[in-house]
Amino acid sequence: MRKPDGKIVLLGDMNVGKTSLLQRYMERRFPDTVSTVGGAFYLKQWRSYNISIWDTAGREQFHGLGSMYCRGAAAVILTYDVNHLQSLVELEERFLGLTDTANADCLFAIVGNKVDLREEGAAESQEEDGHSPGMASGGCASLKVSKQVRPEDAVALYKKILKYKMLDEKDAPAAEQMCFETSAKTGHNVDLLFETLFEMVVPMILRQRSQGPAQTVDITSYKPPGRTKAGCCA
C-alpha cells in the first residue's frame, strides 16, 4: 500500500460541513452527505507526496476516537459553521484537546464554513435559497445575527490555540494565513484552504525525512502502553 507521507485531520462539531468540504475538494461537487460514522480516510496525491486526510465524525458518540485520528497529524483543520457561534465554542472546548497527539509542529487552520448561508456581508454568494438537507442544523437563514461568527472570533481562537500549544506567535504561521471562510456549496475558498495546507505540509514532510528514516512518522512517543486494552474480550 502507498504509505501516506503526511496526515491532515478535519475536526469540528457535527453538521458544520466537514464531509462536504472534503467532497467539494476531492470530487468537485456538493452532494447531500450523511452523518459520518467514525472517520473516513482519503488519500490525496500532492506533487510526489501522498497526503492522507481523515474526515472525522463530529458526533459526540465518536469523541473517544478523535485523538487516535490526530496521532502524528501534520495539520488539523478545525471547522465551524459561521452561522452558529456554538460550533466555534465547541472547537475550543471539545476538539482542541484531541490534538494533543498531533505532531509537535502541527499546523492549525480555523475554517468557517457555510458562508453562503450568511445573511449579510457575504458578498461571495447570493444563494440564500434555504439550506440543503445534508447540512441540516444551523443552516436556516433565520438565525439571529448574534449567532454569527465574525472573522475576528476565529483569529482570537487561533491565537488561543497557539498559546495552548505554547508556540510563539512569531514562529507559527500568521493568523490571517490560517483562518479561512469557505463554502462547500459554492466552492468558495475550498481549494485555497486545502492547497495552502498541502503546500505547508510538504516542507514538514521533507524536514521529517531529513531527520532520518526512523522518525518518518513520529508516533512512537504517543503510542498507548498496551495494544490489547481496548480489546473486545478484555
Partner 1 sequence: MEAGGDAAAPAPGDAEDVEDTQFPSEEAGDGGDVHEGSPDPEDGGLEETGPETKEQPPDLLSPLPQSEAPSCTCGLWSPAASENSPMGGPESGSGSQGGDPSDEDWRSKRKHVFVLSEAGKPIYSRYGSVEALSTTMGVMTALVSFVQSAGDAIRAIYAEDHKLVFLQQGPLLLVAVSRTPQSASQLRGELLAVHAQIVSTLTRASVARIFARKQNYDLRRLLAGSERTLDRLLDSMERDPGALLLGAVRCVPLTRPLREALGALLRRCTAPGLALSVLAVGGRLVTAAQERTVLAECRLDPADLQLLLDWVGAPAFAAGEAWAPVCLPRFNPDGFFYAYVARLDAMPVCLLLLGTDPEAFHDMATCRRLVEDGMHTLGAMRALREAASFSNASSASAPAYSVQAVGAPGLRHFLYKPLDIPDHHRQLPQFTSPELEAPYSREEERQRLSDLYHRLHSRLHSTSRPLRLIYHVAEKETLLAWVTSKFELYTCLSPLVTKAGAILVVTKLLRWVKKEEDRLFIRYPPKYSTPPAAPAASADQASHNGLFTGP
Give me the residues that bind partner 1 (CB under 8 A), please: 1, 14, 23, 34-42, 55, 57, 59-62, 64-65, 68, 71, 223-224, 227-228, 230-234
Query: Could you tell me the smallest distance in angstroms from the CB atom of residue 81 to partner 1?
Result: 15
50, β-bridge pairs: 45
The whole-angstrom separation of Cα 127 and Cα 115 is 10
Instruction: Please identify, using beta-carbon distances, which residue of 39 and 173 lies nearer to partner 1.
Output: 39
CA angle 4, 198, 85 (to 5 degrees): 110
The answer to whether the CB of 6 falls within 8 A of the CB of 74 is yes
The whole-angstrom separation of Cα 227 and Cα 218 is 18
The whole-angstrom separation of Cα 199 and Cα 191 is 12
The whole-angstrom separation of Cα 191 and Cα 76 is 16
Q: Which cell numbers in the block locate residue 10? A: 478535519
Give the strand pairing for 107-113 and 179-181.
Answer: parallel
Instruction: Please identify, using beta-carbon distances, which residue of 29 and 163 lies nearer to partner 1.
Output: 29
Query: Could you tell me the smallest distance in angstroms from the CB atom of residue 103 to partner 1?
Result: 16
Instruction: Please identify, using beta-carbon distances, which residue of 49 and 62 lies nearer to partner 1.
Output: 62
Residue in 193, 178, 101 with CA at minimum distance from that of residue 169 = 178
Residue in 113, 84, 135 with CA at minimum distance from that of residue 181 = 113
Instruction: Please identify, using beta-carbon distances, which residue of 1 and 166 lies nearer to partner 1.
Output: 1
Instruction: Please identify, using beta-carbon distances, which residue of 48 and 228 lies nearer to partner 1.
Output: 228
Query: Could you tell me the smallest distance in angstroms from the CB atom of residue 227 to partner 1?
Result: 6
The whole-angstrom separation of Cα 214 and Cα 206 is 14
Instruction: Please identify, using beta-carbon distances, which residue of 4 and 187 lies nearer to partner 1.
Output: 4
Query: Could you tell me the smallest distance in angstroms from the CB atom of residue 17 to partner 1?
Result: 14
Query: Could you tell me the smallest distance in angstroms from the CB atom of residue 36 to partner 1?
Result: 6
Query: Could you tell me the smallest distance in angstroms from the CB atom of residue 61 to partner 1?
Result: 5
